[in-house]
Structure 1
Amino acid sequence: MDLQNKKVVQSNTLIKAIAKMDALPLKLFELAVANVDTKEKDPEVELEKDLIRTFLPRTNALRHDYLQTIMTNLMDKSTFTVKYTKENGKKKTEIFAPFSKIEFSEDESTVKLSFSNKIMPYITELKKNFTQYRIEDLRHFTSSNTITIYKVLMMYYNQYTNYIANGKRTKEELESFLNPVIDVSELKALTVQGKKSYDRFSDLKKRVIEPAIKEINEHTEFNITYDTIRVGRKIAKIQFHISNNSTEKLIGELTAEKKLSLSDVQNSPYTALLLGAMIVNFADANNESLMMSLGENVYPKYDVFVNKHSLDDLQKHLKYVKDHMNSKPNELDKYLIKALDDFEKNKGKYAKRDKSKLKQKEKLPDWAKDDTAQKNILTEKGIQRSKEIDELLEKINKDTSD
């Protein structure tokens, strides 16, 4: 089988999942994914033993007992952990095995692997937010950490190649995909397994980061470097730099050639959502200045939002924005960006109406709460008023008699 052009395609959710398995089982999992027929969505994959042998470290032997050890390890000691936040804001964790069954025999030349039902959507239902990379690149990796870091970096590189092709990103945004920033805590969660914690960054650097970068640079077309980012005195983030022979040339040429047009903005699904929420009208949709400001400044942020949440969540967000918009702002793009930033700061939870800020009714005096006291006061006022009338009548009668 020619592996040069064979690619692995996986959901970004699975890319960012914590894979608990050694290097060899992880490579065999990737090899199996590369051979899935995504159209048929068949959970069973057959791999030639000769192909499996090419992924073994420094040996051509593939005896039945050795194959059994490898496959047992793949079945019993391999899991993926996916963490995400539910709509109600609660965190949820799912842990599942990649395979439900593995079959092989001494007198057969293939190994049959059956993917678990839980993992199939992550490798077959890939309408958006997926990553692909060459399976050949993984062949010579000796560490599961190298495979994990490589896959994460390819996730960003795939976004770069996708957006540079459709011309819907600025040069600065494209460069951010080639220079992704990853929290040290996130990198540890993805790579450090077992009892090792590498509390000191120097240990993480020596044992995980630098060996992985060395293998990627030696065995793939990519050149990876990195810088550390401090928060106070602590190294909190790592900025990786991804390059190959084509990246700089593409950024220079394609971003200059492809520019966002009014038609691109008008045909964007985000324009349809804004129209549906009545934040813009059809007259606005033909206002070139307004629409281009939305396309250039707002829609890229909506891309990030949809990747993180969903298009339905964006629709709900825009309805909320419209419900709380007193009048159309002069700078709609800045208004929508601020609304989105507020949403993210509140972690997607719209602030409930603060009852303490509602206008309260004027507090009644104590005497008004007592019916008896109120009647007495009214009675006293009536008596006083009656006296005033009597005095007035007496004066009138006196004047008349005079």
Structure 2
Amino acid sequence: MDTNKICPPKGFKVSNLSVSKSNNLIDASYKLNAQAQKLVLACLGKVDSRPDKSIPKEISLTASEFSNIMGIDMKNAHRELYKAADALFKSSIILRDEREEVELCWIQKKVKKLKGEGAVTLTWSDEVLKYICQLQSRFTTYKLKNIATLQSSHSIRIYELLMRFNATGERVIYLEDFKSALGISDKYPQYRDLAKRVIKPSVAELNQRSDLVIKFETIKKGRSVAALSFEFKKSAQLKMDL
């Protein structure tokens, strides 16, 4: 099979495209800009995540698909797609458990830019492919349209972290784990700065543009903020990009 010619299946509807990401990856620490995150999610959205289906090591995405899936102006889609591809090549993921910490590359080699076709082909790294291939029961699934209009990479990451607990509509996360998941462990040592620059703007954007209605509170240990408590629910309808 020529993986450079991967096309959406017959009857393909972008509005129904979903993405499944291993929960290990969702809780991992990585920092991607918004466009690179959308590139990963758009590619994952083309993957059939049913347990009996194999995951292709290579996958292609056209500028037209990127524009359609993520609501990007077509005249900018080629440029944004190539910029996202470059950012993805330079990025890594940190997976942690009680015993060890390991840093993985998202992709095995620099993304192939098919300039004449306005497309890219990426090759997942072997390590990341293992997590993408995990059983469906270990995955969190959501509709791509729910994050397509988000402009902040932090908003997309928070959306993922919350959807990990979609069944309960609640998530408590230690502040250091929250910062790590967003790739900002070395920034905002003061909570007030973190809240002003990251948490409040991201929650406001999610409430405005995603399918979630979110509230959060702080949990303190002494005078310091130790954790964040999120409550969220699905809104009646997807909000408009105002």
TM class by shorter chain equals 0.7 to 0.9
1:216–1:222 Cα contact (<8 Å) kept: yes
Distance of 2:97 and 2:155 partners within structure 1: 24
1:82–1:93 Cα contact (<8 Å) kept: yes
Match of 2:29 among 3, 12, 18: 18
- Residue 74 of structure 1 pairs with residue 68 of structure 2: no
Flag the structure with higher strand content.
2
- Residue 112 of structure 1 pairs with residue 121 of structure 2: yes
Paired residues for 1:273-284 under 5 Å: none
In the comparison of the two structures, how many residue pairs are matched?
220
2:39–2:84 Cα contact (<8 Å) kept: no
Deviation, structure 1 residue 120: 1.0
Compare relative contact order (CA 8 Å, sep 6+) and give the higher one, 1 or 2. Answer: 2
Match of 1:209 among 196, 199, 202: 199
C-alpha distance after superposition, 1:64-104 (max 9, x if no partner):
6x65443222212x11110112xxxxx21111111124222
**Could you tell me which amino acid in structure 2 is paired with residue 30 of structure 1?**
L
Change (3 A) 1:21 1:2: same
Deviation, structure 1 residue 223: 0.1
Deviation, structure 1 residue 241: 0.7
2:216–2:231 Cα contact (<8 Å) kept: yes
- Residue 238 of structure 1 pairs with residue 228 of structure 2: yes
C-alpha distance after superposition, 1:98-142 (max 9, x if no partner):
112422222224322221111112112224332111111221111
2:58–2:124 Cα contact (<8 Å) kept: yes
Distance of 2:87 and 2:235 partners within structure 1: 38
C-alpha distance after superposition, 1:231-281 (max 9, x if no partner):
1111211110111257xxxxxxxxxxxxxxxxxxxxxxxxxxxxxxxxxxx
Change (3 A) 1:232 1:120: same
Per the normalisation by structure 2, the TM-score is 0.82
Structure 2 gap segments, 5+ residues each: 1-11, 237-242
**Could you tell me which amino acid in structure 1 is paired with residue 88 of structure 2?**
L
Change (3 A) 1:127 1:193: same
C-alpha distance after superposition, 1:340-366 (max 9, x if no partner):
xxxxxxxxxxxxxxxxxxxxxxxxxxx
Match of 1:180 among 171, 176, 181: 171
Deviation, structure 1 residue 150: 0.6
Change (3 A) 1:24 1:67: closer
1:24–1:56 Cα contact (<8 Å) kept: no
2:169–2:231 Cα contact (<8 Å) kept: yes
Match of 2:41 among 30, 34, 46: 30
Per the normalisation by structure 1, the TM-score is 0.51
SS of match in other structure, 1:241: strand
Higher radius of gyration, 1 or 2? 1
Deviation, structure 1 residue 40: 2.4
C-alpha distance after superposition, 1:200-255 (max 9, x if no partner):
11111111111111121112221001111111111211110111257xxxxxxxxx
2:62–2:117 Cα contact (<8 Å) kept: no
Change (3 A) 1:121 1:193: same
Distance of 2:227 and 2:26 partners within structure 1: 19
Residue of structure 2 equivalent to 1:96? 104
Change (3 A) 1:119 1:230: same
Deviation, structure 1 residue 58: 6.1
Match of 1:44 among 58, 68, 73: 58
SS of match in other structure, 2:97: strand
Distance of 2:160 and 2:201 partners within structure 1: 15
Deviation, structure 1 residue 2: 2.5
Distance of 1:26 and 1:71 partners within structure 2: 10
Structure 1 gap segments, 5+ residues each: 86-90, 161-176, 247-402
Identical residues among aligned pairs (%): 26
SS of match in other structure, 1:205: helix
SS of match in other structure, 1:8: strand
SS of match in other structure, 1:113: strand
2:23–2:139 Cα contact (<8 Å) kept: yes
- Residue 137 of structure 1 pairs with residue 146 of structure 2: yes
Q: CA RMSD in A?
A: 2.2
Residue of structure 2 equivalent to 1:351? none
SS of match in other structure, 1:211: helix
Distance of 1:125 and 1:32 partners within structure 2: 17
Flag the structure with higher helix content.
1
SS of match in other structure, 1:120: helix
Change (3 A) 1:127 1:218: same
Distance of 2:74 and 2:200 partners within structure 1: 26
